[in-house]
Copies of this chain bind each other. A is one copy, B any other.
Amino acid sequence: MAPERPFAPAEHPDLGWDPRGQSALSGDLLQLFRRLDGVFLGLAGESAAREHRFPPFLAARHLERVNYFRSFPQHATFPVHLEASDENLRAFAGQDALDAQGNLRLTRTSPPQEVLTPAACYHFYPRFAGRTLAEPLYVTTMATCFRREREYRPLRRQWAFSMREIVCLGSAPEVEAFLARQRARLQELIDGWGLPLTWQVATDPFFDPRNPKVLAQKLDPVKHELTFAGDLAIGSVNLHRNYFGEAFGIIRAGEPACSGCVAFGLERWLHAILAHFGPRPGDWPGALSGGTP
């Protein structure tokens, strides 16, 4: 049951908010975060998806193969370090490291070769590059993802956020069946919880609206978003067709593999649960309150 007075999730005492776009969690919120992820890991388990834990950086050369820098340059964050000569490190260490605005006064840096993970599932395609799949592959991972935006809001839009993904690589019918099955199970779950969410057709946020992929996605929708309060996408079901299979030489049934993923933005789920059910764990749906599912 929804609380009588609407609760502002950003005011939860267990939330630490950094206005530069990051959040810290403890107490009830951290419990809720873990339980939500446990529920989504359970959905992954229904497809017998093997879990992976990936590192925070992704090689830029992998992302270049799928035109990431052309499509989403506005979102990327790069891990940069000082060029490691003694003279350069001494120059940096010997000065005031920050200017009056709080900006770091870096001396010479080495050119980066990596990007901070933009989406959890990007790690899988280079990992399976060149493989011929004897059967469809089901995998899952949860990763901290990074996207620069024009502005940030606690839990709802962050520079750094947490994404759980369940991914299938296989033939077109195998991937389509996986997505339909996962979407149906997800629908059952949220119906059981009584969380008011709607499905919306969406396109990816391409930097250049004239990118031919924008038109292609509009003509033949491949992205369906699960939306809270009309405008907050908290999950999505995505069909990539053979885009990644072709780019990374992954083969299924003699052809470039298709892929698809179900993605959950965990902080946004926290927002939806808190906004709808309020801050008391006892008011959250069974599996999230710590009771039996």
Contact of A61 with B by CB under 8 A: yes
Q: In this assembly, does A5 line the interface, its C-beta being within 8 Å of a C-beta of chain B? A: no
Tell me the A193-217 residues at the B interface (CB within 8 Å): 207-208
Q: How far, in Å, is A119 (CB) from chain B's closest CB? A: 16
Q: Which residue of B lies closest to A70 (CB)?
A: B93
From residue A45, how far is it (CB to closest CB) to chain B in Å?
A: 14
Asked whether B24 lies within 8 Å of A52 as measured between CB atoms, the reply is yes
Q: Given the complex of chains A and B, what is the CA–CA distance between A159 and B116 in angstroms? A: 13
Answer whether A53 and B69 are a contact pair too, CB < 8 Å, given A80-B112, A81-B76, A102-B61: no
Contacts of A27 in B (CB 8 A): 50
Interface SS of A by simple majority: mixed
Question: Please, what's the 1-or-0 string for A97-122, where 1 marks a CB less than 8 Å from any CB in chain B?
Answer: 11100111110010111111000000
Contact A26 B50, CB 8 Å, known A60-B104, A70-B93, A73-B93: yes
Interface string of A25-64 (1 = CB under 8 A from B): 1110010010000000000000000111111110111001
**Most chain B CB neighbours (cut-off 10 Å) among A18, A33, A57, A208:** A57
Q: Mark A110-151, 1 if CB is under 8 A from B, else 0.
A: 011111100000010001000000000000000010101010
Residues of B within 8 A of A82 (CB): 73-74, 76, 148
Q: Would you give the shortest CB distance from A74 to chain B, in whole angstroms?
A: 5
Q: Does A289 contact B (CB under 8 A)?
A: no
The answer to whether the Cβ of A8 comes within 8 Å of any Cβ in the partner chain is: no
A144 to chain B, nearest CB (A): 6
